[in-house]
Amino acid sequence: MNDPLAWLMNIVIMLPGIVIGLSFHEYAHALVAYKLGDDTPKLQGRVTINPLAHIDPIGFLAILLIRFGWGKPVEIYPGNFKNRRRDSILVSLAGVMMNLLIAIFFTLVLKLMVTVIDYNFFVTGMGNSIFMMVYYVIFINLMLMIFNLLPVPPLDGFSIVTEVFNLRKSEFYYCVSNRGFLILMVLIVFNITGLVLTPVISFLMDMVETVLYL
């Protein structure tokens, strides 16, 4: 915040990645749940890519200010699924798979840009901003994918682990899920999530840069 203009410009550059990442992540959850027989997301207006349906105002503001936030979770009723465990896993995986697909798509877009457009454009202010905007779409979606795969409630990874190992009826499940947000905050505050995320994201972004400059 020593340079408010630079901070604001950084927010503007990151904003498309944040909006796209959160909106499509939650849309994927809603769409897959609806296709598997649960009308709840459809009735609540969540089967849409409209960001207004998925962005939680407080969570969105937190992302802008402290670089950690959240979208509006998609409510589902697993009792509507034909195969509760399998379909719950598919719904949980849908969000992270959507983030992966978006990251791959924009990597290809960026590859096309650096191949077709003259390099001198990217050293201009506008060119660099456009490059970084697309780059952040890739980075943020990979970050969302890896972060949501952590087996900690209320993240998708915990839901996947719960269904794979059929933990829902266990005492462990209720003990952990009831304290999920607190556990997650402790992991974030003490940077334990960072110890996991940083090397994985660095590896994935190295792969992205390898693709860009092949």
Q: How would you write the pLDDT of the chain (214 residues) with one tens digit per residue?
A: 577 788 888 889 999 999 999 999 999 999 999 999 999 999 999 999 999 999 999 988 888 777 777 889 999 999 999 999 999 999 999 999 999 999 999 999 999 999 999 889 988 989 999 999 999 999 999 999 999 999 999 999 999 999 999 998 888 888 898 888 899 989 988 889 999 899 999 999 999 999 988 7
The Cα–Cα gap between 14 and 117 comes to: 22
The Cα–Cα gap between 2 and 102 comes to: 33
If DSSP codes are grouped into helix, strand and coil, which group holds residue 211? helix
If DSSP codes are grouped into helix, strand and coil, which group holds residue 133? helix
Q: What is the pLDDT of residue 1?
A: 59
User: Which residues are known catalytic residues?
Assistant: 26
Within 10 angstroms of residue 149's Cβ, the number of other Cβ atoms is 21
Q: What is the pLDDT of residue 173?
A: 87
Q: What is the pLDDT of residue 39?
A: 96
Residue 162's Cβ-count burial label (10 Å; 0-12, 13-18, 19+) is buried
Q: What is the pLDDT of residue 116?
A: 93
Task: Indicate the helix (H) or strand (E) that contains 192.
Answer: helix 192-212
